[in-house]
Amino acid sequence: MKNRVLTTEQIEPMTPEEEKRFNDRIMRILALDDGQAVKDNLAAGFPVIYRDARCINPDELIREWPDGRKELVQAVRRNLTVLRVL
């Protein structure tokens, strides 16, 4: 699968259906990851975002911070809203 970089300008005008297809593709790509990228990002001081069984609705994600904090967040376009601290 060939990956390409998308700019904010390309992502912002997506219709809800385009956004769903985009998010589905991202999730398929992330499913192939062996976890090293997560470890590298946390070690570099960046939070990581992923889905697991705690994500009930399609717009829910887990945000994990380098200090170990975890939050259930809701993603709407580029905005994340903390639903609860885990």
Provide the whole-model pTM.
0.62
Q: How far apart are CA 75 and CA 58, in angstroms?
A: 9
Separation CA 1–CA 85 (nearest Å):
35
What pLDDT, on a 0 to 100 scale, did the predictor assign at position 69? 96
Please list the pLDDT of the chain residue by residue as tens digits (86 residues).
455 555 556 556 778 888 888 888 888 887 887 888 888 989 999 999 988 999 999 899 999 999 999 999 998 877 899 999 99
Domain boundaries, the chain: 1-32, 36-86
Q: What's residue 82's pLDDT?
A: 96
What pLDDT does residue 1 have? 43
Q: CA–CA separation, 37 vs 31, rounded Å?
A: 12
Within a 10 A sphere around the Cβ of 7, how many other Cβ atoms? Answer: 7
